[in-house]
Structure 1
């Protein structure tokens, strides 16, 4: 048993022992090598194969403010390295801060302050390649071991105090870590490239600490949710469950591109905010799947996941495809431990608040709803408490319908089921030469409609699955009225006659477009629209496809268009749950630009991000004849399940 020196007055060991242990425990790095967690090992500081004996290591803890140069020692070797200097600049050692008013009390009774959300420990946790990641640890009051919840972030762990307070009060250790290359962590910042390995190492480190009972969960929303997904894909042996909010299954095809078209507003703005605008063309040029993309895409690694996951998302979220897709795959095809143990919750939400003149009654905004189920989920899987969460049906989703303020439909509300999608009949609704939509297949032989795409005058964005993340470059989100686009010749509207009965649509939707163009490469943007009796045109779904990627995104799949040759495009519009009510019209809108949501195709055929030629206009054609009909394929449900009350 190794003892550890504390250069402070004697203190009660009762409530603070866990904090002592955090700073003084040993962690296995590989093989039989052991060393103090959070201490940078230097040459000669330890011998391989030697476990701590009588006192092979010492960690000095000083309380309160310290001068620069505070020293850790191990194996008799003094180390006043980067970690100590960094912490000293903040006036603390290992993140343990004792306010002045507590110092006087401490002198009187010798009691150590009880750890809370602002009195935690910061460590540098080593990864397998020696890079150390800044990690805050929040420990419940008192002695014992607890289950651990890990969250990894590129947005600074300094924001973790409120969550640390909440989780420690619930009986969990909260481990909050800056991802590689971010804020106080070492290494190069290459988003998500090493997160499978780093997540694995962090979970296994946390599981072996003396404050841990060996059961670990991962959690996170958005980028942190992507970290959690990738950690689960690494299959750490001690990982027991995951709680993931609004996260993608494919960074490549959800976060950076949709259908091969660069997400100009979201991803471009993100890079501008990071001061990396000069790298936007480089990112645009990476529109073909490669090994680096595969390293970050969950769809290439989720076959390894072995744990229950709670996926929470929204129909207007920019990652809705992955939220649904990850659930469907793991629930039906996952490994033991994952298969059959998944939950999916989909609200009428976006990644940021919805715009437009619609409201969905009974739905709670994503912000307050985000972590409603986190503790019941982890209590069940990490504490073996019967919280009732596994008695919930596998899928809970908000079904949308007419939602004009003051005239909202009773069909709006939450529904539940044991699987997704619900049983349905796939039904084609054909685009008609006169601008209509119906189940009747066109009968003519040469019918088509053409328009001119001008890259210098793109169709403007109004709503959709966007993220309004930059006040200097705002964008609207969700079911915004498309009438704002106006009557443009390059924006085609196909609307059905007023429906004579409710049309319930639940599941994934495809659009089959027969097209031709006079340029080597162009884009097609498609929207599913609910047209209200008063004319309001609400987006339900929208996405894009670049024609060179119509056969796939691998290098061998890329094929340019042959001018004038008809070609069938199949466009995945993702999934929804919506009733087009009696008196409404079913709308399908088609264009070749949607800016700034998407990069505008210059029509030159050059590699994306490397254009040197002047942009040119493209004449694009939608074929609507008997041999080459264009259609939207809808999953029609005869009867909706009953609505459920959600507290």
Structure 2
């Protein structure tokens, strides 16, 4: 039965093509400990390959993925089968549908709930399992974990999900009802080589191309990826790149040929059944360990999963570290590695200190400029998020560009937003372009940047600890536009460090499928959610809120056309907007946040 016995550990492995309910077969590796017959199981499903990522050994279980000794915590698959089997678990790896050694078409998480259920059902029927299964994964592997957990299969007892999306469209792809572009474009292109033979054939047939033409499209897609990636070093970055600035977004050359589902991803601008089907956290009812970082693209999605499931059923844990999406793979990110403590408790009835600790553990430093020397020795415990001792604070944006405790005088401030000349992205919760608290002075040099509001220099340090939002009263001469808000620490030397940013698409400002076009002369209220943070502003710094209408390519440009599906808009649909923020006693513009008592 076994295709492989590891000479070092004695672990036994075999490969199988596991049939899903529609007959599609998914490439699956099973590794069992050297001794014993029935085991708890840790399942990991990934689109990034369960063997060599060059595709040369897709079905060879002896080449099953393992982390490098230099980076033992890196990978979508966590800890690796050797460590898992040495702890007395069976390890199951699976290529997701349409990826590497699996059949079917890759539809980017659309099938991961049902495929997850079918895989769990198969595991539960095997004579080598004791009926207790856990799931884990990082990034895309975390999203597939949330997806499977949402199905409530009775064998799945606990999960571990780090830096992944629990409601991938509402939180990430369509955050604020605006398309999150940088990750989509670079991620889709970079992952074309991992598409399986069956996916390739389905895409080739749909496009009506020959094999040679598909190869040419793949080569062009990689060349486009390289040009997109290189645009970060231009001055200004991104906005002079033909690849980034191309319209329409739909049917993007070569990318959409190889990954036709890209068109589906970007054409659900408002909440609908498609997006709701990807809200995996809504139905999860088992213990979960959630991990993210303050500048992770998935920060809000991970925190939302923890908060909602903890409120509903309890037994959740949330750890938040510093820096970006990828820092989580470094050993120094972690105060300790609780992976096997977590699964040991829920799958093997072992004692664990985790169950006696407060559920939230976080770094009070949102960013470190020296990650190699970082030491996770200052993390803090708390019973929930935001912190119970934090106090909600409201400050008003003034017509004269101030931030204060007082409601503004009457008046208005107007700026121009031309989609042909967007403001470039500098930092933030990015995944594929440079993240972090980048200096916004370069962005601010744009001739039509937008509006800046700042408070007086702080006399005492101020710690922001929790979610942040901005309420605005606005109007525009266009049927639709975006409003982007940035929270910034402006330091004494002039550096404008970006703490966080958010966006709201005006015609979908209520967060529903109800379209409310802007009308000439009409003032409307909208709220921009910026995310979560723990950060201490220094004495002498100013808290700053910037309001603009583009942050490109973190967000795709709103053409201001008023068309619901912006992904289909071309250059002819572009309108130049005059966007206005209105001030006065009846029109309060407010930044809402949580602070620790001084």
* 1:138-537 correspondence to structure 2 within 5 Å: 138-159=31-52, 160-162=64-66, 163-273=80-190, 274=192, 275=221, 277-278=255-256, 283-299=265-281, 302-303=282-283, 305-333=284-312, 339-352=313-326, 365=330, 369=334, 372-400=337-365, 413-423=378-388, 424-442=390-408, 444-445=409-410, 447-468=411-432, 475-488=433-446, 489-537=448-496
Deviations for 1:603-623, whole angstroms, at most 9, x for unmatched residues?
A: 222231222424221100111
Shift of 1:149: 0.1
* Counterpart position of 2:555: 598
Shift of 1:496: 0.9
Task: Name the CA distance, whole Å, in 2 between partners of 1:153 and 1:116.
Answer: 25
Q: TM-score, normalised by structure 2?
A: 0.79
Shift of 1:286: 2.1
Task: Name the CA distance, whole Å, in 1 between partners of 2:380 and 2:594.
Answer: 17
1:368 and 1:598, CA in 2 relative to 1: closer, same or farther beyond 3 A? same
3-state SS of 2:44 partner: strand
3-state SS of 2:379 partner: strand
Decide whether the 8 Å contact of 1:401 with 1:412 is kept in 2. Answer: no
Task: Name the CA distance, whole Å, in 1 between partners of 2:593 and 2:137.
Answer: 33
Task: Name the CA distance, whole Å, in 2 between partners of 1:627 and 1:199.
Answer: 52
Deviations for 1:294-328, whole angstroms, at most 9, x for unmatched residues?
A: 222224xx33x231100001111111111111111
Deviations for 1:6-55, whole angstroms, at most 9, x for unmatched residues?
A: xxxxxxxxxxxxxx3xx6xxxxxxxxxxxxxxxxxxxxxxxxxxxxxxxx
* Counterpart position of 2:516: 559
Decide whether the 8 Å contact of 1:508 with 1:635 is kept in 2. Answer: yes
Deviations for 1:572-626, whole angstroms, at most 9, x for unmatched residues?
A: 1121112223221111111111111111112222231222424221100111222
3-state SS of 1:147 partner: strand
Shift of 1:404: 7.2
Shift of 1:211: 1.8
Decide whether the 8 Å contact of 1:379 with 1:385 is kept in 2. Answer: yes
Deviations for 1:359-386, whole angstroms, at most 9, x for unmatched residues?
A: xxxx994786499221111011111111
Shift of 1:96: 3.3
Decide whether the 8 Å contact of 1:115 with 1:139 is kept in 2. Answer: no
3-state SS of 1:241 partner: strand
Shift of 1:120: 2.5
| Structure 2: unaligned runs, 5 residues or longer | 53-63, 67-79, 193-220, 222-253
* Counterpart position of 1:96: 4
Q: Would you say how many aligned residue pairs link Structure 1 and Structure 2?
A: 504
Picking from 557, 572, 580, the partner of 1:621 is 580
| Structure 1: unaligned runs, 5 residues or longer | 1-19, 24-94, 99-112, 334-338, 354-362, 469-474, 640-647
RCO higher in 1 or 2 (8 Å CA, sep ≥ 6)? 2
Decide whether the 8 Å contact of 2:322 with 2:333 is kept in 1. Answer: no
Decide whether the 8 Å contact of 2:163 with 2:298 is kept in 1. Answer: yes
3-state SS of 1:306 partner: coil
- Write out the 4+ residue segments of structure 1 that deviate beyond 4 Å after TM superposition: 113-117, 279-282, 363-368, 401-406, 408-412
3-state SS of 1:285 partner: coil
* Counterpart position of 1:589: 546
